[in-house]
Amino acid sequence: MKAHTVHTEIEISAPAGRIWKILTDIRGYHSWNPMIRNARGKLKVGAWLRLYFHPRGTIGVIFHPYLVTVDEPREFRWRGLLAVPKVFVAEHVFYVTAVNDKQTLLVQDMEFYGLFAPLAVKLKGRMMREAFDGMNRALKQQAETRQA
């Protein structure tokens, strides 16, 4: 099944371990994250999360995805789906890649699968890209100003 992807990335002047620590502290999202204003759940593959997605200019929505990958310090991924998986599945993935000891590349993608995937990207892709870029910038600011 082909993925339809909304892709963003940012280079951050901080070590990958610091980025990972901030990114996976989902209970701390409320203090810095302009996209996911509140989050709860255990950082464990198979665990369900409760995420309040509310970027500026949107109506807030609560999602209940489950974690499919927690590969410290490289990849963090959750999946949300409708009742019928072949109709619509969305995976939100963060890739944390050390460029060197002091620089990290963060890639944030939303991958859509299923019959409604092309429509979702067409209708909501720009809004999601802007929200992801906002989260990336906030994470960059958080990581670059935080003490080691």
Q: Tell which residue, 117, 118, 77, has the closest CA to residue 96.
A: 77
Percentage of the chain lying above the pLDDT 90 cut: 70
> Domain for residue 92, yes or no?
yes
C-alpha span between 139 and 92 (Å, rounded): 16
| b/e sequence 99-127, b meaning 16+ C-beta within 10 Å | eeeeebebbbbbbbbbebbeebbeeebee
Residue 9 domain-assigned (yes or no)? yes
pLDDT at site 10: 98
Give the number of domains in the chain: 1
Q: What is the mean pLDDT of residues 41-63?
A: 92
2 has a pLDDT exceeding 60: yes
Residue 48 inside a domain? The answer is no
Span of 3-7, 60-64, 87-91 with lowest mean pLDDT: 87-91
The helix or strand, by DSSP H or E, that contains position 51, with its residue range, turns out to be strand 50-53
Domain range holding 122? 4-24+67-145
**What is the value of pTM for the model shown?**
0.91
**CATH code, domain carrying 119:** 3.30.530.20
pLDDT of 82 strictly over 90: no
Is 111 domain-assigned?
A: yes
Instruction: Flag whether 42 is in a domain.
Output: no
Q: Which two tokens stand for residue 107?
A: 């890639």
